[in-house]
Structure 1
Amino acid sequence: MALTWQDFLEGVRNDPHGSPKSRLEILEAARDLFERKGSLKQMTQNERCAIAGTGSQQESKTYRGLHWSWFGTMRGLGTFASLINKAPDNISDALYHIPLSGDVDQEHYEHFVADFSRAFTGEPRAGNIATASRLLAMKRPDHFIALNRANQRGLAEGFGVGYTTIRLDTYWNKIVMPTRLSPWWNHPKPRSGMFNRRVWDARAAMMGCIYYVGN
């Protein structure tokens, strides 16, 4: 977390999996959806599945033909996928607590967690940090990192915490706050270089380029 902006940017550029371009396209498409539709429940099913990572594995069938699973594939999480497909209102209301612009504070996050957890009341499975952080990163990639099996161990090591201790109730203090104290996160937005500026706008979520280890 002591990385300078230049070191962070180099880490993103040198992603051995070649994902920076695809990741940026996904995050920018998600931003466009939230700006145009306003909330998750106003989106079409295909658009919601893209945001949630529950859509088809075939890129030709995904929203804009993008590889949305770069930030975690949630297709196997049946309860979450079902809610996204058929009853998205409560999850959408939870995500609405996170502003699309401006600062995001702990109160915003706690309201999100409370409503996100309630959205699974009576369901066979509860929401978890993977599904929650996926949605948060899609809406505010400048503040949130999507945690999944491909990056959670590496991220936990980088943050100096046990990977099994990162839950909905600890994510803010163990991941979000340290991120916001990091030199690379606090670096001013670059004045030149389109790629650099795009990365800065999504800098928290783009840590996935550095910690992604594949299947």
Structure 2
Amino acid sequence: MIKFITSPQDMRLSDVETAQYDQIVDYVTEISLNLMAVKVTNRPEDFLGWCNELYNYVRYGINMDLLDEKHEKPLQKLLLLLEKSITCRQVKTSRITPWPFLKNFLLDQADRQALAERLRLLNYIGSLRSSTLADMSDLERLAFAGKHLSAHEPAKFDFDVELFGSTRGAKGLHELLQHTPSLLDDALSAIPLEGEVSEADYKEFVKRYTAAFATLDKAKAGLFAATRLLAMRRPDVFMVLTASKVDALCQGLGLVKLKPTDFSRYWVDIIEALHRQPWFKSARPEDTTELELWNNRVVLFDLFFFVDKDFADKSNYLKLKNKPVVVRTSTGGRTRATGVVRKKRTKESATEVVDRLLAEPDLPAYLQSKRDSMIAEVEKGKSATEVVQLLRAIFG
């Protein structure tokens, strides 16, 4: 293990990597007794491979039952540092990566990074893209913006809506989504759905986006939540930033760390930098599977950020899908079943139920004018049939 730990000293490291290595060694020293008991099975000759290997030894090789409580925090800090170092190196490598290599990298990461689930999310958002936020249902808006609710039933939302980046903490954004989504629609309309997106287009978006937040009492426009909207609007142009990504991303690109309000630098330092890379400027592929990746190539830059091997299993979609619920048995008792999702009546499902009922030809004409009232009553828990009977009793 000692030979493995010291092996980067014989590698050609950049100044950033040297600093990262020195920090790693500091934390390794604190858990050295536990780490020495781990058998070394692989000795990569490059720093990226070394970081990945050490991460596996620390994360999965150490016997946690023998770890002193005082060493738990250094171990966690070491893991975070290794994650950052891996991401930084992968981002740095992306700057010279042609499209065929990037495509293979994405496919190699498919299982670990839940690529299939990510693509299902992007395809779903693609089906909404021609609609405005104002015209979407509440759940559709939240899927677009990246906030998961238990009402996102797995049968319809077969993906974690928070993949790429969650906006759960962006209270101002969700206040606008709920009350004045048209203001966000106005901002997004500055970004064309097809073709080139210019810096002027982006600046107009920022102008309108910040103006929307000016209508709120306290909330300020933040960059990270805005990038989620932009990336869902144009996944071939924008990537999603989060607080956890920005440090490693900037180090990998050789930049000073962005602040959460650096709207200008997001375009100039991040987006333009990505657009200069070989994989971005590649020709449109003809293969259907490859084209799906290419059409989402900038938002899929997210796969350069390290995730643990159980990342895919932590999906909100899978948690909800596999959540045990209490169901009644044929004998009247109760049991817990996995994979059964208790149906919740949402605004959308209530609308569908009422519209289906109103489509019946023998219903009186006056019921058609009561559609909104019927939906409201169904949302409160009444069945559509009960509502019709009540209206018949009132209006004859």
Above 0.5 in TM-score?
yes
2:269 aligns with: 174
CA contact (8 A) 1:26 1:66 kept: yes
Pick from 74, 87, 91: which aligns with 2:167? 74
Counting aligned pairs with the same residue, the percent is 25
| Higher mean displacement: 180-189 or 149-158 | 149-158
Instruction: Report how many residues are paired.
Output: 212
Asked if the contact 1:98/1:112 (under 8 Å) is kept, the reply is yes
Match 1:64 to one of 139, 142, 157: 157
In structure 2, stretches of 5+ residues that fail to align are 1-94, 312-396
Q: For the Cα contact (< 8 Å) 1:95–1:136, is it kept in 2?
A: yes
Confirm or deny that 1:162 pairs with 2:261.
no
Task: Name the structure 2 match of 1:195.
Answer: 289
Q: Which residue among 11, 23, 27 is the counterpart of 2:118?
A: 23
Larger radius of gyration: 2
The two structures have a TM-score, normalised by structure 2, of 0.50
Per-residue CA distance 1:145-180 (angstroms, 9 max, x = gap): 011134322322232212334721211101111111
1:113-139 Cα deviation digits (max 9, x unpaired): 000011111332212111110000001
**SS of equivalent to 2:153:** helix
Is 1:143 matched up with 2:237? yes
Give how far 1:48 is off.
0.8
Separation in 2, partners of 1:3, 1:22: 24
Structure 1 residue identity aligned to 2:172: T
Q: C-alpha separation between the residues in 2 aligned to 1:176 and 1:140?
A: 12
Moved more, 23-32 or 150-159: 150-159
For the pair 1:115 / 2:208, whether they are aligned, the reply is yes
Q: Aligned AA for 1:154?
A: A
Alpha carbons 2:118, 2:159 under 8 Å: kept: no
SS at match of 2:213: coil
Q: Which of 215, 228, 234 is residue 134 of structure 1 equivalent to? A: 228
Q: 1:147 to 1:23 in 2, by over 3 A?
A: same
Please give the secondary structure, in 2, of the residue aligned with 1:170.
Answer: helix
> In structure 2, what is the Cα distance between the partners aligned to 1:173 and 1:95?
19
Output the CA distance in 2 between the equivalents of 1:62 and 1:84: 24
Q: Which has the higher contact order (CA 8 A, sep 6+)?
A: 1
In 1, Cα distance between the equivalents of 2:254 and 2:117? Answer: 28
Q: 2-side partners of 1:68 and 1:108: how far apart?
A: 26
Task: Map Cα deviations across residues 164-208 of structure 1 (whole Å, 9 max, x no partner).
Answer: 34721211101111111110001112222x331101000000000
4+ residue stretches of structure 1 with deviation over 4 A?
A: none
Call closer, same or farther: CA 1:196–1:123 in 2, change over 3 Å. farther
Bigger drift between 14-23 and 52-61 goes to 52-61
* 1:58/1:159 CA distance change after superposition, 3 Å: farther
Partner amino acid for 1:17?
R
Cα shift at 1:2: 1.6
CA deviation digits over 1:58-108, x for unaligned, max 9? 752696232111121111222211211222111111011111111111111
What residue number does 2:104 align with? Answer: 10
Name structure 1 gaps, 5 residues minimum.
none
Q: 1:24 to 1:117 in 2, by over 3 A?
A: same
Answer yes or no: is the 8 Å Cα contact 1:5–1:184 preserved in 2: yes
TM superposition shift of 1:54: 2.4
Is the 1:137–1:205 Cα contact (8 Å) retained in structure 2?
yes
CA separation of 1:58/1:44 partners in 2, compared to 1, >3 Å: closer, same or farther?
closer
Give the 3 Å change call, closer, same or farther, for CA 123–57 of structure 1 in structure 2. farther
Structure 1 position 57, deviation (Å): 5.6
Partner of 1:94: 187
Give me the whole-angstrom Cα distance separating, in 1, the residues matched to 2:120 and 2:105.
Answer: 18
Question: Could you state the TM-score of these two structures normalised by the residue count of structure 1?
Answer: 0.89
**RMSD value, Cα:** 2.1
Letter in 2 for 1:199: L
| Cα distance in 2 between the residues matched to 1:171 and 1:139 | 16
